[in-house]
């Protein structure tokens, strides 16, 4: 399972993602992102693009191992966290799988 640190930055940066166009409030924030709880209000029924496990199985397993795919996703998470100067305790670390 992908070790998401639940910082919520991916849900606050959906601008330009075609599959999430109808979810964008117009400021890049997903309309289903709860700013109080920092959680997704539709987590169990979220779009596949928001589910790293499903995206790996459906689209990327022919190109990457699961660990490689997780590492690439972790890089994006960590870059967003750096951009928004989020505390380093939220960094995603991919260990042994």
* Digit-coded pLDDT (tens) for 56-97: 999 999 999 999 999 999 999 999 999 999 999 999 988 765
d(CA 49, CA 79): 19
Residue spans per domain, the chain: 18-90
- pLDDT score recorded for residue 96: 64
* Digit-coded pLDDT (tens) for 1-44: 899 999 999 999 999 999 999 999 999 999 999 999 999 999 99
d(CA 94, CA 97): 8
């Amino acid at each position: 399972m992908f070790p998401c640190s639940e910082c919520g930055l991916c849900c606050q940066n959906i601008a330009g993602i075609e599959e999430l166009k109808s979810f964008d409030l117009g400021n890049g924030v997903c309309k289903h992102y709860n700013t109080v709880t920092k959680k997704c209000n539709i987590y169990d029924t979220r779009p596949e693009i928001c589910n790293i496990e499903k995206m790996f199985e459906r689209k990327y397993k022919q190109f990457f191992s699961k660990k490689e795919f997780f590492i690439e996703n972790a890089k994006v998470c960590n870059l967003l966290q750096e951009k928004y100067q989020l505390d380093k305790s939220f960094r995603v670390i991919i260990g042994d799988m």
